[in-house]
Amino acid sequence: ALGVTGLVGYAYFAFLDEVPISHRKRWIATSPRWERSLGDHEYNNLLTEFKRKGQILPPDHRASVTVKRVGSRIAKAAAKFASEHDMTNMSNSPYTYTVVRSDMANAFVLPNNHVFVFTGLFRYIQNEDDLAAVMGHEMAHNLARHAGERMSGGIVVNLLARLSLLIDPSGAIFTVFLPAAQLFRELPHSRTQETEADQ
């Protein structure tokens, strides 16, 4: 039993990481390299899907030019922040900016610096400062490696869910565990990450 406890303790402390923005300690089992690889893979999948539907605005479109201009300024600030906080694990890949024609008011950034902005967002922003606030928030999620943190939490939840089936093959614990895990772990963590990205 001590061996298992020691192994669990080692696994916890070996993958303990600190968010540079808030100094919050969190457990991340994914490597920055793996996160970047996953980001590239998802980026290529999304590009294929959006191109097939004819939804990607050309690079010389006014919205694309604006997104790239605003994003480039934020990218410089992000690189400076990473340098000042000795974040050697951060990607130095150039940012990509993709503007997607859609009524959805959304923006997100994938690991390895892939920025997506949906045109529905432009209904709610008045100027470049508003756009910068949204894009800066999304790019800060990337800087804080929140995607890796969420994936790591998902690994633990899935592992515990599978272990619950060993204890109770009927699945009664399993059906209670997953919603409880979302309520007590994922939602508070999501709010914490949103606050960190705002900061």
Catalytic residue list: 138
Number of Cβ within 10 Å of residue 77's Cβ equals 14
Q: How many residues does the chain have?
A: 199
Q: At what angle do helices 32-52 and 146-167 cross, to 10 degrees?
A: 100
Nearest of 130, 122, 141, 145 to residue 70 by alpha carbon: 130
CB of 143 closer than 8 Å to CB of 19: no
Displacement of CA 12 from its chain's centroid (Å): 21
Number of Cβ within 10 Å of residue 34's Cβ equals 13
Phi and psi torsions of 97, nearest 5°? -125, 120
Owner of token pair 């059906």: 175
